[in-house]
Amino acid sequence: MTTRTAPRNVKSAAPFASGMAVLDMRWAIEKTLGSDALRTALDRVSPAAREEYTHATSLSWVSYATLAEVHDALATETKNDPMKLADRLARVTVERSFTTVWRIFLRFTSDEAIIVRTPAFYAKSRSVGYMASRILEPGLAESIISGFPTIPDRDIVILAASIETVLSLAGRKDVRSQGERNADGARFMTRWK
């Protein structure tokens, strides 16, 4: 299991996303929906959320509360279902992250190697919870988030879409990841061919 420490200078148990993850998602928003849509959505959020979001850096951490406010405003502005939008943007974000040499590397990587590295991606992008992943049988993996009983539904959607996208980019076919909340976080069952 991967260990996760809270971001520096954060003294609450409130969840935060890494600034790098926020910047990648912001790129996906601008590419998919346009910078005007993002700018207009940011006009709808509180000044504090706007400030935190627009000043995110690759080294900062952004609160989930701010991200929810921004993404809800963006969904309203673009007339999208918030969960469907989260799924769509997560896929674009992951695709961008893996379009370089990583994409080629993934094609030559075993299922086991991909699945056991999933917790490292989780730990680098979130301040709360832990992920453990394992192969149950060929074409079936389980990933469990623990230590995050308040994981938002949006995060479950984003994580399932991200897992699917990574495996699809790695050349796996018919990838389907289903996340479901449990008492301590969430459980994802992922199937592929």
Q: Name residue 47's amino acid.
A: P
How many other C-beta atoms can be found within 10 angstroms of the C-beta atom of residue 35? 11
DSSP characters over 60-99? -EEEHHHHHHHHHHHHHHHT--HHHHHHHHHHHHHHHHTS
pLDDT band at 101 (very low <50, low <70, confident <90, very high): low
User: Among residues 175, 98, 166, 171, which one has the least CA distance to residue 139?
Assistant: 175
pLDDT at 10 over 80: no
Q: List the structure tokens of 154.
A: 């949006």
Over the stretch 117-163, which tens digit does the pLDDT of each residue have? 889 989 999 999 999 999 999 999 999 999 999 999 999 999 999 99
Please write the tens of the pLDDT for every residue from 37-90.
Answer: 999 999 999 999 999 999 999 999 999 999 999 999 999 999 999 999 999 999
Distance CA 152, CA 142 (A): 19
The region of weakest confidence among 9-13, 94-98, 106-110, 146-150 is 9-13
Q: In b/e form, how buried is each residue of 84-105, taking b as 16+ CB within 10 angstroms?
A: ebbbbbbbbbbeebbeeeeeee
Q: What is the pTM of this model?
A: 0.88
Structure tokens at 55: 């000043």
Distance CA 127, CA 34 (A): 29
- At 97 the pLDDT is 79
Res 53: pLDDT? 98
Q: How confident is the model at residue 1 (pLDDT cuts 50, 70, 90)?
A: very low
